[in-house]
A and B are shown apart, each in its own frame.
Chain A
Amino acid sequence: MRVSVRKQPSWLQVLLILPGVAALVVTFVFPLLWLARTSLQPTTGHTLSLHAYVRLFEDSFYWWVIGRTIFIGLLCVVITVPMAFPVALFLARSQSRWRGTLTALAIAPLLTSTVIRTYGWMVILGRHGLINTTLVWAGILAQPTRLDNGPFATVVALVEILLPYGIISILSHLSRLDAELEQAASLLGARRLQVFWRVLLPLSLPGLMTASLLVFVLAISSLVTPQLMGGGRVFVLATEIFNQTTIALDWPFAGALSITLLAFFGIFVTLYQRILQRVESQS
């Protein structure tokens, strides 16, 4: 027989949740509000002012930076998601006893330092690195070239850093799918490629979209990789925010840049939700 446990008094619940709410208000909500407030700080006087935003949007350099940020973000999505998809597919369908280990191996890099993985790419792409040494040895290059500096290196490293996020979001969608559906399609005589295009791809679409969104938002807000691998030549919103806060010490302007980044974040998340609704209502 089930005996119901006496309902706990509600003051206990308030007491339990209060420290958490307080911690989030102090370390999360307040800093964001203060950031918004600082971005509206005038150069003189006490009233709020939009001058930091006006300066930002009147300067064509910052439009270029925003465009560049979105371009690098999209480039990362276009390369990362097609790489993550086969791995997720493999892990979702594998019957191997190594499946658990291989899944952990694909996710574990997510929990290792971005700084260290970026450093690894500096070694691989560096002047005396793996790629250059191999190319010179093979006679393709007469002299080592600089690969470790600039947009190319930044995108390569970002793709590798974001790959586990792509794999995990596609995998979690695929494991909810019915493996039998695919089997049924192949039993009915559909060719492998047809199964892929007609069944697997449309079914995986929501997972691919979640992966795209995640990779995109993480790419446009990443700082360490463009800062270390950009060689001072990759200007994205994140590096501009860093320079404005630590070198130029223009906090209202850094605040305006951060709020702008957040706005783009919001726009892309909303877009994603709209498209996802449409995709899900169709299937």
Chain B
Amino acid sequence: MKHDRTVRVAWHLLIGLIYLFLLAPLIIVLIVSFDIRPYLSFPPASFSLISYARVLHNPLFLQAGKTSLLIGGCSAGLSLIVGTSAAFALVRGHFPGRQSLQWFFLSPMLMPHIVLAVGLMMTLQPLGLLDTLTGLILAHISITLPYTTRIVSSGIAQLDRTLEEAARIHGASPWQSFCRVILPALRPHLITGFLIAFLFSFDEAVIALFIAGHRAVTLPLAIYQYIQFRTDPQVASLSVLVVLLSLVPIIIIERLINLRRAVGG
């Protein structure tokens, strides 16, 4: 049985190493973010929070943070409303072509972002929406709508119809049963849909690179532009803050309906 034990240890070691590889960039960024040297190197020479303070006083980064939160919130909100409304028709409707429409709503997931980005750029340019918040929000609706629609759809499919029926029998109007029974039952899926959409918008860089970058700058864009020319601990601190900000929705999603199901596994 000694052989068995060796195999088990080796197997767990292998898994551990792969996890280490997967998390390495985030761990390293965290370590470097406490450095004070103006250039990037490893290991850090000191432990300080100076670069965090610098980030919080950098107007460029603060503005990008506001822009990112605004675009993430607006596109996730719109995507959730439109997606929820469509999900009801897609799950409960009886009309010809329902299956094709279900596919149609998922299709942007399969589209490479770079191709969509070029198309969006060519479409937004004549409308004067390049480098604007409106343009970015519109663009992010297209990439988030499949996720909100799918997550809310799966919630609707799991609804216990007898509850609605009970509400209706007891004299609730359709609108009342929707507000008092259906919406509360769907709450975890609605919140997850919003948060997933927010995260995809918040972390999106490829489309933003094509359609924004001067007046409208999101956080990923600000980091991209910064590290193209210099790399110092300030951008590491900013990265840590951005990851921490993403971590909050990630943990909520994991608690609500489990991360794997939300992403589509």
Contact = CB atoms under 8 A, between A and B. Distances in A.
A242 B121 CA distance: 11
Given A13-B93, A113-B223, A34 B142 contact: no
A35 B114 CA distance: 12
Given A160-B24, A221-B115, A123 B85 contact: no
Interface residues of A, number: 88
B203 A126 contact: no
A126 B203 CA distance: 24
Interface stretch (B49-57, B186-194, B234-242): B234-242
Given A13-B95, A112-B26, A238-B114, A251 B89 contact: no
B228 to A, nearest CB: 7
Most buried by A among B22, B199, B228, B239: B22
B209 A107 contact: no
Interface of A: 2-5, 7-8, 10, 13-14, 16-17, 19-21, 23-24, 26-28, 30-32, 34-35, 38, 83, 86-87, 90, 100, 102-124, 126, 128-130, 133, 157, 160, 163-164, 168-169, 171-172, 192, 217, 220-224, 228, 238, 241-242, 245-246, 251, 254-255, 258-259, 261-262, 265, 269
15 contacts: A4-B165, A5-B164, A10-B93, A16-B89, A34-B119, A35-B115, A104-B260, A106-B22, A111-B263, A113-B223, A119-B25, A122-B40, A124-B42, A160-B24, A265-B115
Interface of B: 7, 11, 14-15, 18-19, 21-26, 28-29, 32, 39-43, 78, 81-83, 85-86, 88-90, 92-95, 101, 104-105, 107-108, 110-116, 118-123, 138-139, 141-142, 145, 149, 161-162, 164-165, 168-169, 174, 196, 199-200, 202-203, 205-206, 209-210, 219-220, 223-224, 227-228, 231, 235-236, 239, 242-243, 246-247, 249-250, 254, 258-260, 263-265
